[in-house]
Amino acid sequence: MQRALVLGAGIMGLSAAWALEAAGHAVSVVEADEVPNLRGASVDDHRLIRHAYGAAAGYMRMVDEAYAAWDDVFAAIGERPYAETGVLALSDGAGGEADWFAASRRALRSHALAAEDLPPATLEARFPWLRAGGVAEGFHMPRGGVLLARRIVAGLARHLRARGVAFHRAWAVGIDPARASVTLSGGDRMAADMLVVAAGPWAPCLLPELAGRVTPSRQVVVYLEPPPAQREAWARAPMVLDLSEAGGFYAVPPVAGTGLKIGDHRFSLRGDAEDPREATAEERDAILALALPRLREAAAYRVIEARACYYDVAEGERFVVEPLSDRCVVMSGFSGHGFKFGPVLGRAVAAAIGDPTRMAALPGWAAGDAQQRGDVAA
């Protein structure tokens, strides 16, 4: 048995701790706030899981592994905080063959994943909340759904505590990858045989190695109450991906007692993770301007709340999961799409520590290289 130290108790840190504990290691977790940390990138009502991934075939293929890993997490925590909704992707037709919609459809078809093409008239008939003016086409996939993020993080933390994983509430101010150690704000130092750094948007401040590679990004989401005539239809709605480069949005239907959420899929690449999480009126209105033109009876929707979170974003939305020494691994750069892969990435990190062959393959595989697979996540 080795001692493992994990910095950060978002989905990546908890997933790594889950996999390391299951492998027989003695695990400790350091987190600056309570768990779930309401300021963390992982702690919102929802995160999405779907195969539609543009041209990123490596991540599209990883989704099946992610589903299998989530089944194991749900079995461990004794609940299934997930709602299958399906996926509705929309296109204004302006992006050409290189845009996200066209690339997703090609990739899905090449891997025999079902996606039903829908013309505008069919879209409005099937989804009565949708105003299809300006929509050139869409496709629908039955597979895909909503991971109830806050419940998952809380459930994993409870499970790990019950398994003997130690949680320490402390603020990290320094990291020594060679010694697998973390210096805390009071001057104390914690060390172990292996260290996993999963500090989300705070990681670039702690690791000079990430400077210029990973950028904190302020992202705003808005929760809406649909008009009475649309509530039943929204309760049965799929997730919506309208990812136009000109300014698209995503929508998460109200599932399992949560609200209807809309957000911008683009990255602000600005701000500091210590900033307040309250969204300004200007930030709120910018999100509404993207989504409301797609909603029938748009003026009847009521804003419930607008708030900000911070992502850690790397170039091309490619995950940064790599060794900083033979005793330390960093997990970073997860943008808004890393949550779905938390357990499969945690297992891959746990398997790679102490295995040079797997460790060498880990960065390329985690960055979405469809060719760099092998048994990295075994």
Q: What pLDDT sits at residue 300? A: 97
Q: What pLDDT sits at residue 370? A: 61
Q: Is 108 left (phi over 0), alpha (psi -120 to 50) or beta?
A: alpha
Mean pLDDT of 348-366: 96
Q: What pLDDT sits at residue 341? A: 98
CA distances to 144, 243, 268 from 356, rounded to whole Å, are 35, 39, 37
> Across the chain, what does the average pLDDT equal?
94
pLDDT one-digit tens code per residue, 253-296 = 999 999 999 999 889 999 999 999 999 999 999 999 999 999 99
Q: What pLDDT sits at residue 372? A: 53
pLDDT one-digit tens code per residue, 222-257 = 999 999 999 999 999 999 999 876 668 999 999 999
Model confidence at 324, in pLDDT bands (50, 70, 90)?
Answer: very high
Q: What pLDDT sits at residue 40? A: 87
pLDDT one-digit tens code per residue, 164-204 = 999 999 999 999 999 999 999 999 999 999 999 999 999 99
Q: What pLDDT sits at residue 243? A: 84
Question: C-alpha 336: how far from its chain's center?
Answer: 4
Give the residue with greater pLDDT, 48 vs 375. Answer: 48
pLDDT of 148 strictly over 70: yes
pLDDT of 317 strictly over 80: yes
Strand residues in the chain grouped as ranges (E): 3-7, 26-31, 47-49, 82-84, 87-91, 116-118, 137-141, 145-147, 166-169, 172-176, 181-184, 189-191, 194-197, 214-225, 239-242, 249-252, 260-264, 302-314, 320-325, 328-332
The CATH T-level fold of domain 86-144+215-314 is D-Amino Acid Oxidase; Chain A, domain 2 (3.30.9)
Model confidence at 377, in pLDDT bands (50, 70, 90)?
Answer: low
Structural domain spans, the chain = 3-48+149-213+316-366, 86-144+215-314
Q: What pLDDT sits at residue 45? A: 93
Q: What pLDDT sits at residue 376? A: 67
Q: If 0-12 CB within 10 Å is exposed, 13-18 middle and 19+ buried, where does residue 176 land?
A: middle
CATH 3.40.50.12280 holds for 3-48+149-213+316-366: no
Which candidate, 10, 339, 48, 24, places its Cα nearest to that of 156?
Answer: 10
Give the residue with greater pLDDT, 43 vs 67. Answer: 67
pLDDT of 97 strictly over 80: no
> In the chain, pLDDT over 70 holds for what percent of residues?
96
Rounded to the nearest 10 degrees, what angle do helices 342-352 and 11-22 cross at?
50
Cα(8)–Cα(241) distance, integer angstroms:
30
pLDDT of 136 strictly over 80: yes
> In the chain, pLDDT over 90 holds for what percent of residues?
88
Q: What pLDDT sits at residue 41? A: 83
**Number of C-beta neighbours around residue 328 at 10 A:** 24
